[in-house]
Structure 1
Amino acid sequence: MTYILKTSIKNDVTGLQKPIKYFSDVEHGLAVRVGADMNYNGLLTKNPFKASSYKVLSYEDTPYDLDYLNEFVDKDLVKKQRAEKKKKKIEDGFASGRNCTLFENLRLWAYSNWHRCHQTELRSNILEQAMEFNTFECQLGTREVETIANSVYRFITRHFSIERLNELKSDRAKQSRKKSSANLIYIDGKPWEDEGIPKRTYYYRKENNVDADRSVESQDKPWEKMNMSRRTYYRKKSQGLIEINF
């Protein structure tokens, strides 16, 4: 079954990821609803060995809007189908294709784990992980998996290095220090100890311009001498009804 779209989607490496993801989700949802072959790679051809099992039909020549097609996607059915596949540790490889799915999973793994592998073992580790990701109902052949693994390996060796990783860490540390540059830092002494207050309280008062004299008042408790509550004392003081000389 085919659906002609009003607005085309550039479904390759140069296309925008957001519309591609939306398109893939809708296509996957419709395939689940009609019980389509989840290993179909999207080519408008028949399998010569199983010609009777593959039928490509188009009932309408009127273009569809992707949002309209999305209304027919059963989200609960899709969720159930994915849960069953996950439980069996099986990948669909639908819409984006098995090769693209394997490549995407493998590259993300390699980006996060390349620095944990010795350089002499990196290629074999990537290939081993590629084999573990090849969990489709109809698995890719060994040669296809090796080709994808080699592609990821070449990209990693060209664009990733310990030196570059250290540069990134250094840049992030500098950015972090810039963000915290507004914080007050005292090298000589510990002024909060001189005032007899916690370090956290000291910086809170500095950052929020809290009256330093208030710490003296909190120790002397002048409201007790005036036979009034602490709350009443500060309220009257804010109104200018009380003047205290230190």
Structure 2
Amino acid sequence: MYAEPFQVFNTWPPPENADSVQVVVMQQLAFDLFAEERLPRKPYCSDDLAHGLLIRPLQVALAKRYIQPNPPGMSSYLAFDVDRPDAGAAWIDSNAPRPNFIIKNPDNGHAHYLYALEAAVCTTSAARIEPLRYLAAVERAIASELQADPGYSGLIIKNPAHAHWQTIITQTDAYTLAGLASKLDLTTRAANSDVVRESFGLGRNCTVFDELRFWAYKAVTRFWRPGGEAAWLASVRDRAHELNLFASPLQAKEVDQIAKSVGKWVWKRFSPAQRRALIERTHTPELQSKRGKLKGKALRERGLELFKSGQTVDQVMGETGASRATAFRWQKLAFEV
């Protein structure tokens, strides 16, 4: 038994036993949550995944059984694949938030879960990495709670507006990031595991961002010459594609967008003068003194303790004098089990 009554409907056509008021209300909820402005203008779509994906105008794609929910470089939805006969009830005995849509296969009970975000999150901008990192942690935690398929990329979902599927609406309002995270433990291995981070959903974006920017901070010095920016951006793009080595790789266009964002961000902020200023800021007598007092293993242990107590990367850097790259490595280690 479900904890509360569900309103179950196939959007097109509505159930035969539904009265006209219910049909109008449920259709409006579907339109609001799966609105055209949230979707790609030309999404991938298909009526049969065995025959591959097509790119079609949105109005055509909305008539297909499967559709791409998120525009390129943006996340308007979090999608999960729950492949078991009781998938429709997967969230009830878990700490996962109530999904907006459960799109269930009536033949085997398997389902896609869809959570609508109140404000879309950019997945390709170096200047907006913290919201993405937060959303990725939320995504990993929800996937763990639902016991969803970790290999599912979220590129294509069962179309909640298609009559082939049984669509269940359990939450009528889109979520803020804080609302999604309110009942989740984001400090667990599920939310922070390197293994999950490298293979699942938005964690792939974070991994490419982090590895690419750490490489870029040093590599950019080789391109400090007149006319060097074009060669630099090409080198960053090549490196980004080398890092896209996941079981379910990111789309090439998405990798290109990440590379362009990181390349331009680093080129703008890591000029020779700015590099000198950075060295001066991070090698003050005070910071050098802290490094001298806390060496090697003791320094790392202090950093891990600070992260476990809830400190941010910047706070740990200020307390220990560690570099940003070192602080990020400690942050990962702090949540390993």
Task: Please identify the structure whose Cα radius of gyration is greater.
Answer: 1
Give me the TM-score of the superposition, normalised by structure 2.
0.35
**TM-score, length of structure 1 as denominator length:** 0.45
Normalized per residue, the structure richer in helix is 1
